[in-house]
A and B are shown apart, each in its own frame.
Chain A
Amino acid sequence: DQQVKQNSPSLSVQEGRISILNCDYTNSMFDYFLWYKKYPAEGPTFLISISSIKDKNEDGRFTVFLNKSAKHLSLHIVPSQPGDSAVYFCAASGKRGGTSYGKLTFGQGTILTVHP
């Protein structure tokens, strides 16, 4: 049962344009969502997060949008840079007291390639 899904295995964009990475979840007990970036031979690096009480969080070039009714979140990168080329994972965590509290449930990842 894949509770967090990233349906696009890969995405290719031109430098300077917007990258939009998507993620869907099924567990209504998730209330905190994170995006991680992973380069080969390195561990995932935390990028940005959002609580379920918000619908948008912005940090520099990165913005995460949350649509709770659709159980969907997206990560926007503007403008995209070649150094952003990596695997991007979305992850979710549950409410305090629930079985998914404290642990992260990850999607399968999306490979982003930004061309110069």
Chain B
Amino acid sequence: DAGVTQSPTHLIKTRGQHVTLRCSPISGHKSVSWYQQVLGQGPQFIFQYYEKEERGRGNFPDRFSARQFPNYSSELNVNALLLGDSALYLCASSLGSQPQHFGDGTRLSIL
């Protein structure tokens, strides 16, 4: 069975641009969460969606938004990119609330 898949794997953007990251959960998983991981730190929670509804939001600015589609896939959108947004963005899915299973992430570089 396929795990959590994320696209693209790598992305290079410039400051001020907008980016959309995509995630497909494990088949049957209805909960999708997004995390940001910067070098040397653990992942930081951004959003959680369950059955297309936002169930939680971390301490991130309004430039970050997300949505979940009827097939439970999800998109993370970031507007007005800053240099500090350079990070690994991880998507995780779960059957219930835990455990969450992660994809390999999208490496976002801002120039």
B-binding residues in A (CB < 8 A): 4, 32, 34, 36, 41-46, 49, 89, 91, 93, 96, 101-109
Contact = CB atoms under 8 A, between A and B. Distances in A.
A49 B98 contact: yes
Interface residues of B, number: 26
Given A34-B99, A44-B102, A102-B97, 9 more contacts: A36-B102, A43-B104, A46-B102, A49-B98, A93-B97, A101-B56, A103-B56, A104-B43, A108-B40
Given A102-B31, A103-B58, A46 B44 contact: no
A102 B95 CA distance: 11
B102 A106 contact: no
B97 A101 contact: yes
Contacts of A46: 99-102
Nearest to A44: B102
A102 B102 contact: no
Given A42-B104, A43-B90, A43-B105, A106 B42 contact: yes
A69 to B, nearest CB: 23
A103 B99 contact: no
Nearest to A87: B42
Interface of B: 4, 31, 33, 35, 40-45, 48, 50, 55-56, 58, 90, 92, 97-105
B102 A93 contact: no
Contacts of B44: 106
A65 B50 CA distance: 30
A35 to B, nearest CB: 10
A106 B81 CA distance: 25
Contact of B42 (A45, A49, A107): A107
Contacts of A41: 104
Contacts of A109: 41-42
A36 B43 CA distance: 11
B43 A106 contact: yes
Contacts of A103: 33, 45, 48, 56, 58
CB-CB nearest 3 A-B residue pairs: A106-B42, A43-B102, A103-B45
